[in-house]
Amino acid sequence: MNKVNIIMKNNPGKNTKVSSALRTHGLNLNFQTQKGIIRAVENVDFELKDGHTTVILGESGCGKSSLARALLRLLPNNTANYDGEVWLGGRNIMEFSDSQFRTQVRWIKISLVPQAAMNSFNPVTKIAKQIAEPLLVHGKVRSKKEAMRKVSEVFDLVGVPQDFIGRYPFEFSGGMQQRAAIAMALVADPDVIIMDEPTSALDLLTQANIMNTLKKIKWETGVTYMLITHDVSTSSELADDIAVMYAAWIVERAEAKDFFDNPLHPYSKMLMDSVPRLHADKTPRSIPGTPPPLYEMQGGCRFAARCPERHNDCDREPPVFEPQPGRKVKCWLYKRN
Ligand SMILES: Nc1ncnc2c1ncn2[C@@H]1O[C@H](COP(=O)(O)OP(=O)(O)O)[C@@H](O)[C@H]1O
Ligand SMILES: [Mg+2]
C-alpha cells in the first residue's frame, strides 16, 4: 500500500460509543409535478455514526436517492419544499447559504458516488483531470501537479492502475469507472461519503471486488459511509447500522446485527424474507405489490396496504417507537400499552 495522505480517522470498535458524523431532524424534500406534490423525503430523522457504515435499505421509488440529494443539497428545478435540520460537526448546515454549502460542505465534508456513476463523467475529459478539478476549485491544493499527485494516491486506494491517469472515460470498463467515481468522492478527504447503489449496475464478480475495496477503504481511512441499496445481500456485507426507507419515511433503524437477527417492521421482515439464501429451508418470497406513488399521500401508515399485520390503528400515521434500546420502528405493533 502506498503512503496515502488521507487522514486516518478513528476506526471505532463495535462497542465504542461513537459520536454522530451527521444527523438529520425533520428533513423534507418535495417535488412539484403535474400530478401534484411528490413527497420523496418526509420528516426524516436519522444519524450516521462516525466511522460506521449506515445502509439505507428499501425498494426502488422509496426516496433513497432523494434523501442523498437532500443531504448534498443537489436539488432538481422542480423542488417544491426543502427543509429540516442537517447537523454536521456541531453546525446545522441547512442554515448555510448556497455558496457556503458549495465551498464548505459538498465534496469537502460530504461527497457522493452517484447512482449510475459510470455515466457521470464527462466523456471528452480525462477522468483524472475531472477528479482533480474539485481540489483545484476549492483550493485544497496549490498546483495542478499537487492535485495529480493526490489523484494518483486515491487511484491506488481504490485500485485503479496508475496508467489510467492519462485515459478518457471510454477507456475505463464499467467497474473501473465505478472505482474512479469512488476515487472522486474520496479525493478531498470528506468525513462522509454517500454511495447511491454503488454496485447495482455491475456484474457479480465486479460487485464483490468493489465491495472488498470499499471495506479496505473504510478500514484504512475510517471514513463514514452512507450506503444506499435496494439489495439486502449488499447491505449485509458492510453495514454497521441499518435504516429502512419506505414511501419517503424511515420506518426502522437498528444496529445491523440486531436487524439481521430480528427485523421488527413488517416491511423489514418481508425484505429479509425476499432474500435467496444458500442453506435456507424457506424459498424466498417476493413482496406483493409495489411502494405507493408519493403524491397525494393519504393519512395512516403507508405500508398498510401491503402489510400482513395491518390492524385498526394503522389508519393513523404511526409514531416512532423504541421497543428496545437503540431500535426505532415506525409501526403501531410496537405501541407500549
Ligand atoms: N425531480 C423529480 N421530480 C418528480 N419526482 C421525482 C423527482 N425525483 C424523484 N422523483 C420521484 O420521487 C420518488 C422517489 O424517488 P427516488 O428518490 O429516486 O427513489 P429511490 O432512489 O428509492 O428509487 C419516486 O416516485 C420518483 O419518481
Ligand atoms: Mg435511487
CA dist., res. 65 & res. 228, Å (int)? 8
Ligand 1 pocket, 65 CB below 6 A?
Answer: yes
Given a cut of 60, whether residue 335 has pLDDT beyond it is: yes
Ligand 1 pocket, 38 CB below 6 A?
Answer: yes
- Burial of 37: CB neighbours in 10 Å, binned 0-12, 13-18, 19+: middle
Given a cut of 80, whether residue 77 has pLDDT beyond it is: yes
Q: Residue 3: its pLDDT value, please?
A: 37
Count of H helices and E strands in the chain? 9, 12
> Which ligand lies nearest the alpha carbon of 58?
1
Give the closest residue (by CA) to ligand 1 atom 9: 66
Q: How far is the centre of ligand 1, averaged over its atoms, from the C-alpha of 28 (Å)?
A: 13
Q: Residue 281: its pLDDT value, please?
A: 67
> Which ligand lies nearest the alpha carbon of 295?
1
Given a cut of 90, whether residue 79 has pLDDT beyond it is: yes
CATH assignment of 20-114+202-334?
Answer: 3.40.50.300
Q: How far is the centre of ligand 2, averaged over its atoms, from the C-alpha of 265 (Å)?
A: 21
Ligand 1 pocket test target in 32, 38, 200 with most atoms within 8 Å of CB: 38
- Select the more confidently predicted residue: 238 or 116: 238
- Whether the Cβ atoms of residue 39 and residue 12 lie closer than 8 Å to each other: no
Residues 182-193: tens digit of each pLDDT: 999 999 999 999
- Select the more confidently predicted residue: 208 or 235: 208
Q: Residue 279: its pLDDT value, please?
A: 63
Q: How far is the centre of ligand 2, averaged over its atoms, from the C-alpha of 279 (Å)?
A: 31
Residues 242-283: tens digit of each pLDDT: 999 999 999 999 999 999 999 999 999 999 988 776 666 677
Give the closest residue (by CA) to ligand 1 atom 16: 63
Q: Residue 52: its pLDDT value, please?
A: 95
What confidence category does residue 119 fall into, taking pLDDT thresholds of 50, 70 and 90? confident
- Burial of 27: CB neighbours in 10 Å, binned 0-12, 13-18, 19+: buried
